[in-house]
Amino acid sequence: MDRLGRCAWLVRGTLARAAARRYLPWALVAGMLAGSLVKELSPLPASYLSNKRNVLNVYFVKLAWAWTVCLLLPFIALTNYSLTGRPGLVLRRLSTLLVGTAYWYACTAVFSGVEHVTGSCYQSPALEKVRQEHGDKSQCLRAGGHWHGFDISGHSFLLSFCILMIVEEMAVLQEARPDQDPGASPAVTALVVALGGLTAIWVGMFLCTAVYFHDLSQKVFGTFFGLLGWYGTYRGWYLSPLSPGLPPRSAGLSTKRDTYRK
């Protein structure tokens, strides 16, 4: 087994397990609360990761949904087609990315609306003086002011949602038979490693957000919406026939059947 294969084996053994899907949501909540307590009770000294201009934040987290979609799209297409041999089923499963995009867009719009409704324009980040003449965030920023409102953590929302979505889609690799293993393809092997690395970045930056940024209530709401999107789809709607469905099971699956795990 080459180095890439060993990395894929490690990622697969970690993220494709049922235990990961069962316990990871609770681990994210616990990490968010623990990090928030550290921020409130014993703040860590400033570091490279506490700077919003750090490389991971600028080039990865700011584009988190794009990175996630770009890797999940070929992963879902290749693994689902390998198991089912049905293009129609593959297209149906790929629509999960459209559902996720719609949910991401709706949540960001809601978060922006909440910040606008609850905010005011200030002269500086110290919030010492309100600029009454600017009642709109865009006008405030253009005038050199600083808008302060209830800023639900978009990072906590999007990173938790992306992490859980990746882990759910990795379930397609669980208990695969040697003669019907969707992870045997070199392309899929590379995608598994890339998704594992991306998940590690998302988890790390989720914890950095908990430790360095936002108030506790803002992170609680952000994480709640991330988990709500995952639970409402993979634990709710996707169980019904009129939905994109769950990843097909590999164990005992005929290559011409579209059986989904219950």
Q: Is 155 a catalytic residue?
A: yes
- Structure confidence at residue 23 (pLDDT): 96
- Structure confidence at residue 174 (pLDDT): 80
Instruction: Specify the higher pLDDT residue, 115 or 255.
Output: 115
- Phi, psi at residue 248, to the nearest 5°? -65, 145
DSSP assignment of 150-174: ----HHHHHHHHHHHHHHHHHGGGT
Other Cβ atoms less than 10 A from the Cβ of 190: the count is: 16
Give the CA distances from residue 23 to residues 19, 32, 226, in Å, rounded to whole numbers and listed in that order.
6, 14, 15
Predicted confidence (pLDDT) per residue in 171-222, tens digit: 998 855 544 566 668 899 999 999 999 999 999 999 999 999 999 999 999 9
Tokens, residue 209: 């957000």
Task: Give 237's Cβ-side CA count (13 Å radius).
Answer: 12
CA distance 29 to 226: 10
CA distance 233 to 237: 5
Q: Per mean pLDDT, which of 67-71, 77-81, 148-152 is the most reliable? A: 67-71
- Cβ(231)–Cβ(155) under 8 Å? no
Give CA angle at 182 (176, 188), nearest 5°.
135
CA distance 60 to 63: 5
CA 121 to chain centroid: 31
Q: Is 116 a catalytic residue?
A: no
User: Is the pTM for the entire model greater than 0.85?
Assistant: yes
Catalytic residue among 116, 134, 146, 155: 155
- Cβ(157)–Cβ(222) under 8 Å? yes
Tokens, residue 166: 């990746």
Predicted confidence (pLDDT) per residue in 134-167, tens digit: 667 788 878 778 888 899 999 999 999 999 999 9
Rounded to a whole number, what is the distance in angstroms from the first to the last CA of the chain?
A: 33
Residue 259 pLDDT exceeds 70: no
- Structure confidence at residue 160 (pLDDT): 98
Residue 260 pLDDT exceeds 50: no
Closest by CA position to 255, among listed 84, 82, 79? 84
**Helices 216-234 & 87-118 angle (0-180, nearest 10):** 160
Other Cβ atoms less than 10 A from the Cβ of 38: the count is: 15
Mean pLDDT, the chain, whole residue set: 88
Tokens, residue 141: 């920023």
E strand map for the chain: 120-122, 146-148
Longest dimension (CA), the chain: 69
3-state secondary structure at position 82: helix
